[in-house]
Amino acid sequence: MLSGKAIPPRERLIFALDVPTVEDARQWVERLGDSVVFYKLGLQLFMAGGYYELIAWMRQRGRKVFADLKFFDVPETVKLAVEQLRSRDVAFATVHGNDEMLRAAVSAKQGTRILAVTVLTSLDRHDLRDLGFDCNVEELVLSRARRALAVGCDGVISSGLEAARLRADLGEGFLVVSPGIRPVDNKPVDDQKRVVGLEQAFLNGADYVVVGRPIRKAPDPQAEAEDYQARIARLFA
């Protein structure tokens, strides 16, 4: 199920820029150099201030940006929020909501691809039960993905564990971006529960993977990122 989309291999690795300040973010971009070309900017950086200025700075340096803000509000507010990204040259943006919220985001997207969040990788079946979803995680992911694609989303955020089922049932005509990438011998020591190794995520059908802590906490983050890139290059050679 290896992705056949015309995506440059080095863009398939998205680094989660989960740091507290814009200055920290800039230092990480400079530190990683050419080992990373695609970055995810989430709520932590958004709340730090200077989010749009950081995006402009990164775009000037040829870096791609994924605005992971998980818009969730009444549809008109979601639409207006997505419109704010129109002039920012953002590649991806996330929405976490029902059909009308997703449809509103799609209506305003222009050049930004809208990705629907299926089930956060920090949740397992027990967590879903606490939230009132008495169902199998995979079935919920599939249901949400099917609905998202029906209203025009460009793809989904999904654990690599569920990517194979998504491809088998829904085909190749959409993007799957998989966070929760961990070494295969990783123990559940952080908030990610539904994790998968890099190679398996791609072999299951992911188009992109999001990696944060395994690179950020490595003794040599740039070398670690280059190792991830080399492993991706071997898969897509």
- Strand pairing partners for 137? none
Task: List, in order, residues 6 or more apart from 233 with CB less than 8 Å away.
Answer: 9, 10
Task: Give me the catalytic one of 70, 109, 187, 193.
Answer: 70
Q: Is 237 exposed, middle or buried (0-12, 13-18, 19+ CB in 10 A)?
A: exposed
CB atoms within 10 A of CB 221: 18
Question: Distance from CA of residue 49 to its chain's centroid?
Answer: 21
As given in the structure block, the two tokens for residue 142 are 């599939």
- The reply to whether 70 belongs to the active site is yes
Note the maximum CA span of the chain: 47
> What distance lies between CA 91 and its chain's CA centroid?
11
Which amino acids are annotated catalytic? 70
